[in-house]
Amino acid sequence: MNKDRVKDLALLPAHRLHELIVSGETTSLEITESVLANIERRDPVIKAYLTVLRDSALRAADRVDRKVKAGERINPLSGIPLALKDNMCMIGTETTCSSRILKGFVSPYDAAVVERLLAVDSVIVGKTNLDEFAMGSSTENSAFGPTRNPWDPERAPGGSSGGSAAAVTAGEAILALGSDTGGSIRQPAAFCGIVGLKPTYGRVSRYGLVAFASSLDQIGPLTRDVTDCALLMNVIGGHDSRDSTSAEIECPNFTKSLTTDIRGLKMGVPREYFQEGLDPEVERSIKGAIKLLEEFGAESVEISLPHYGYALAVYYIVAPAEASSNLARYDGVKYGYRHPERENLLDMYCKTKSEGFGPEVKRRIMLGTFALSSGYYDAYYLKAQKVRTLIKNDFDQAFKKCDIVMIPTTPTPAFLIGEKVDDPLQMYLSDVFTLSVNLTGLPGMVIPCGFSSGRLPIGLQMIGRAFDEKTLFRAAYTFEQNTDHHKQTPDFSKIER
């Protein structure tokens, strides 16, 4: 097989590859082999994957090719190689959440999103690296080592879905799924120069997603362009009775929202987000993107989100509190790691958790346990939930004046690996623009909108009303069709072996 053709195939979006499969110009097997070749050549540096499912992926691709030869109609995602963040369960496959405490755990069931992907014959090529239990903003907190950013291997890909974002960027997957609890899809999308969507809370089933903070977690797509994002949402979105938080709201065909008519669209620009601490190059790119959309008929209006400054404090009470409850199940009794030397049950608990969890997970468990403890519940957790309501009310008021809120995704482009990992507060501040979306349950989409002087991607974040992802798709598609940021690729010579 021609090596250049291999590389070209792996960097095409899914909708284009679907056309090539249906026309007979290529096959799912050839596309899958191209992705696997890139994993072999690039992942020793990038380290996006924890598990590569080479054999099962090739078998799945071959099944799709036989269907095409037989004249069967296939789904737009049939035969398309896709990566799963390793906090989503898949039958017979290790699910570690990048934690030693789950090393060796093999899931006995499929997550709802995995069921839906397999039902349309998507090709799952592997499970990707993440910050342990999705707690982090750089994918440095993984027990199995950090993932690196394909644009600059000395820099972080973002987190916690850094493995999924890096895989798509490096041509090691055509599509990927991540989870977003405080920005964990959107921040890696911005750092890696791809599209990321955190859907409305309840839009995508969380059944089979290993829980971090149950009122905040949401699964969503990481893709090369907006069309692919819509196609993936068409498959994974919709009600699931096994998830008590899944919304009983019909999921629309998101590809019908891919139009370039944004006349009359009102874009809210909150003054609080454009202040000291925002990198000038990021600010220029975001404001340039807003200006471009104005040229196509959208209107920008200044809005205020006065409780924005409290989001970080609220999040780091609510999320750790829920984490301390959810992670109590990892005790060495039922599954996962168990310390081999123990004197009694309490000793086993202490040794298992001490060795099984990493420093960031321990930090958040302790924070959360303290916030929920007797005498502190009202002072911390209850108060945080009340302020969370105030943040939600701010957005309700803002959406009376606008259809969509336009803000940066991150204060800076991708930071260096090691730059913030030993300073938790600085790491937490990198999520300051993304947390409100999870606290309010609203949908947020990130699209590439520019580059820094150091050739690092910058992402525009758009926030919509609950269950109004369609407006996000319309604005994002309009921007994308009139720019070429999404077509840019890294210099792969830096990461190939």
| 3-state secondary structure (DSSP) of residue 124 | strand
Phi, psi of 109 (to 5 degrees): -150, 165
Question: What is residue 142's DSSP assignment?
Answer: -
- List the one residue out of 118, 364, 112 whose CA is nearest residue 245: 112
- Tell me which of 28, 34, 78, 85 is the catalytic residue: 85
Are 333 and 353 in contact, with CB atoms under 8 Å apart? no
Question: How far apart, in whole angstroms, are the C-alpha atoms of residue 49 and residue 42?
Answer: 11
User: CA–CA separation, 8 vs 450, rounded Å?
Assistant: 23
Q: Is 136 left (phi over 0), alpha (psi -120 to 50) or beta?
A: left
Residue type, 86: D
Strand segments, DSSP code E, in 284-419 are: 299-303, 404-408
Q: How far apart are CA 364 and CA 49, in angstroms?
A: 25
For residue 245, the SS3 value is: coil
184 is catalytic: yes
β-pairing verdict for 195-198 and 219-223: antiparallel
Task: Name residue 219's beta-bridge partners.
Answer: 179
Choice among 160, 161, 285, 452 that is catalytic: 160
Sheet strands side by side (includes 457-464): 49-52, 123-128, 81-85, 175-179, 219-223, 195-198, 444-451, 457-464, 404-408, 266-270, 299-303
CA distance 308 to 30: 48
Instruction: Collapse the DSSP code of 460 into the 3-class scheme (helix H, G, I; strand E, B; otherwise coil) and give the result.
Output: strand
What gap in Å lies between CA 165 and CA 172, rounded to an integer?
A: 10
Query: Which of 108, 117, 124 shows the shortest CA–CA distance to 55?
Result: 124
Residue of 161, 184, 257, 430 marked active site: 184
Contact status, residue 121 vs residue 79, Cβ threshold 8 Å: yes
- Give, in order, the Cα–Cα distances in Å from 58 to each of 55, 143, 302: 5, 29, 52
Q: In whole angstroms, what is the distance from residue 318 CA to residue 461 CA?
A: 23
Name the E strands within 20-145: 49-52, 81-85, 123-128
83 has which bridge partners? 126, 176
The tokens for 213 are 């903070």
Alpha-carbon dihedral sign for residues 273, 473, 76, 1:
negative
Question: Which residues does the annotation mark as catalytic?
Answer: 85, 160, 184
